[in-house]
Amino acid sequence: MEIQHVIHRHPLSLSFIDERNTTGWCRGCWRALSGPTYGCEPCGYFIHKSCLDEHKAEVQSFFHPCPLTISICSFLRCFVCFKTITSNFCYKCKLNCRFGMHVECALKPIIEYLDEECTIQHFTHAHPLKLVDSNQKDEVICSICQELCSFSFSTYGCMECEFFLHKSCMKSIPRQLINHRIHPCTLIFITYPYRSYECDCCGEHIVPGMKFCCGACDLNLHVKCALFPTVDSEDAKEIQHFCHPHTLALVQNDEEYGSEPRCVACAQICLAPTPTFRCSRSCSHFFLHKSCFVKLPYNSYKVKHPSHSKHPLTITSLPNNDHIRTCDACCRGIDSTLLAYSCQEYECKFNLHLDCYKVLVSITFSGHQHPLILLEKLSDVTCHFCGVNCGNLTLRCMPCDVNIHLQCLPSAPKTIKHKSHLHPLTLTKSPFEYELNSNEDEDEFYCDVCEQKRNQKELIYYCAECKFIAEVKCVLYEIQGLISKYKIHGSSLGFKVHVHDSKI
């Protein structure tokens, strides 16, 4: 007889084992094998039939929203009662929550109290919570909102564990959060006995107790951070964002800003009545337009960049008490009052402007360990091929400080075909005499692909017959595909490279 059981990934075969003829051990009770036994010969995995039949393969617990499956225990502590797991079996989350609990806690019957106004069993705590007498509230904190439990709010608690909840918080906390702004996956509430994780919203350590998490993405949030109102709520007066450790309060129309405060994201002056949030505590320089708040990436406060793949980058305000920071992409300085992408490793000091984080094209060459990133604007750097100062549309290796004009790259296509025009387009600096000679700021020049204003000094692809102009960034896909067909030799770079892959 053969079965497939959740406790082992391979099918288990049933056999009768004479204990006199074996030296094996049962994975369930760790006693010598004897009698009816399930086993997997290739893995050397054996378990008594009685041990396997002792527990249900799958259960649903009051304390966790996902199904739980029986497992050989790999957890030190139970996630419900927080006590050490000494038995060989436990129940763990069938999905990706990395949640485990005692067998007895998983099967614990939930008592429905008749005096619900005084005693409640809640999924946030292993013990029943009782209504706390107002005279007993001596500076106790609600474990959900982290606010003081005052006399004016009903509070439930467990005196044995010193665990307290506002009645309003207890009723409003969900078991899971779907389509959350901070993370696209469903966030599951779990009680948690350890303190090894940092909150992926505020960056502070999550105190033992409870959190919201996505096990598949290894994302963890304080309960307060997960439940805090976001800018999606039109009537939200106070919000939380991962780019700042404190809450942000909506500036009232009649509130004085001070002397020309600037948005930390776009650096533009904050002017009433434009909706603006400011730090609710002591960070007097921290202002953030509501529109900029929405544009900031919200998948996680830690992100990856192709030019700095070894460490994640964090959106943060840079410290202004050490050296002057520069952007590793455009080589310009970064104002310490503005947000930037920054590597938090002490020795790296890798930083990017918010605008410079966006990659137009990333091209990987064999013979060089880093990708070349196509950037629109550089400052005070020269091309390693022609020695001329770099400006717009330059390929740059940030770790090696290597820069190459797009037109200097031997493999850069001088002529391309693009779907927006019938004839081939040729790479050139400026096709029109009046553009070359014009110094008037009010003169406007347009790209015929995107129909947006362009700089007449930038590289373009041009059809002389039709006077059709395409900005290079509007035809990147065609350029990238042609670059990948060529070998190039960069003698001044000190290495030989061959394009073998490219990404957008």
pLDDT at 439: 58
Instruction: Read off the pLDDT band of 77 (50, 70, 90).
Output: confident
Q: Cα(383)–Cα(459) distance, rounded to whole angstroms?
A: 15
Q: What is the token pair recorded at 103? A: 């067998």
pLDDT at 132: 84
Q: Where are the beta strands (DSSP E) in 251-337?
A: 276-279, 287-289, 302-303, 313-317
Q: Is the peptide bond before 11 cis (omega within 30 degrees of 0)?
A: no
For residue 234, give every residue at least 6 positions away whose Cβ sits within 8 Å of its Cβ, in sequence order, or none.
Answer: none
Q: What is the token pair recorded at 334? A: 């970064």
Q: Looking at the predicted structure, is the pLDDT value of residue 39 above 80?
A: yes
Q: Is 115 helix (H, G, I), strand (E, B) or coil?
A: coil
Phi, psi of 432 (to 5 degrees): -110, 135
- Which has the closest alpha carbon to 241: 228, 256, 253, 254? 228
- Give the other-Cβ count within 10 Å of 215's Cβ: 17
Helices (H) and strands (E) in the chain, counts: 7, 36
pLDDT in tens, 427-480: 887 666 656 565 555 557 888 988 888 877 677 888 988 889 988 878 876 666
pLDDT at 21: 61
Question: What number is the average pLDDT over the span 171-182?
Answer: 80
pLDDT at 381: 79
Q: Cα(372)–Cα(397) distance, rounded to whole angstroms?
A: 5
Task: Kindly report the pTM of this predicted structure.
Answer: 0.49
Q: Looking at the predicted structure, is the pLDDT value of residue 495 above 70?
A: no
The DSSP call for residue 57 is S
pLDDT at 490: 41
Q: Where are the beta strands (DSSP E) in 331-486?
A: 339-343, 351-353, 361-366, 372-375, 394-397, 402-405, 415-416, 425-428, 445-446, 453-454, 460-463, 468-471
Best-predicted range by mean pLDDT (56-70, 140-154, 330-344)? 56-70
Q: Cα(66)–Cα(279) distance, rounded to whole angstroms?
A: 38
Question: What number is the average pLDDT over the span 200-225?
Answer: 80
Q: Is the dihedral of CA 204, 206, 212, 215 positive or negative?
A: positive
- Return left, alpha or beta for 30; rule: phi > 0 is left, psi -120 to 50 is alpha, else beta: left
Name the residue with tokens 């394009």. Answer: 499
H/E stretch holding 225 = helix 223-227
Residue ranges of alpha helices (H) inside 286-440 are: 290-295, 433-437
Q: Is the peptide bond before 273 cis (omega within 30 degrees of 0)?
A: yes
Mean pLDDT score of the chain: 76
Q: Cα(424)–Cα(260) distance, rounded to whole angstroms?
A: 50
Name the residue with tokens 């509230």. Answer: 137
pLDDT at 268: 86
pLDDT in tens, 105-129: 888 887 776 566 788 889 999 888 8
Q: Cα(148)–Cα(143) distance, rounded to whole angstroms?
A: 10
Q: Cα(71)–Cα(463) distance, rounded to whole angstroms?
A: 68
Q: Cα(409)–Cα(425) distance, rounded to whole angstroms?
A: 18
H/E stretch holding 116 = none
